[in-house]
Structure 1
Amino acid sequence: MQDLAPDAPVRLVGPGLTAVDVLISLRWHGHHGSVLGLLRQGWLPLSHLPRAVPPVSVDLPEGVGLPAALRRIREAARTALAHGQPWQAVLDA
């Protein structure tokens, strides 16, 4: 960022927290140029829930592989939704 002109246009790929951190750092270092966020899928990020919810635990035994862990997390999210809980509660766990 030190070699970036203060008015240079910047493109950030992805709407995640890293992009937010980069934007804050740019402004902190005096950047005032345009910043454009590019979203790979074309979707806007989802907003946070309006209130905190208790986490829903997921059974992830030690040594479970990534595909199996993803299946368990998705199943837990479906179960949470079926019981009126938001899927975000699973990720919070």
Structure 2
Amino acid sequence: MVVAAKFDHGDDYLVEMIELNKNLHPYFVATQSHPEFLSRPNKPHPLFCGLIKACGVVYSQSDLLVQHLYFSFAKRIRGRITSFLDEINIWS
């Protein structure tokens, strides 16, 4: 954990934002600020831009895994769904 922002108050300070290293989590930020108040549709706050960018990196790295899991799941349930629909006579 890294203190990313702090408010100095004499000998003390108040932690305003923390982050985890990227090797622990692709995007972890905790803040006491309100970046949503500073965001506009045409100019989002950098914290939101960072989140979207991190999602894109993680998705591109795991895209094949996601596809594999989705199609494996679809294969397993396809027969069950068809049987259920036949059972409740949805086709007639």
Same fold (TM over 0.5): no
Q: Which structure: larger Rg?
A: 2
TM-score normalised per structure 2: 0.23
More strand by percentage: 2
TM-score normalised per structure 1: 0.23
Q: Relative CO higher for 1 or 2, CA cutoff 8 Å, sep ≥ 6? A: 1
More helix by percentage: 2
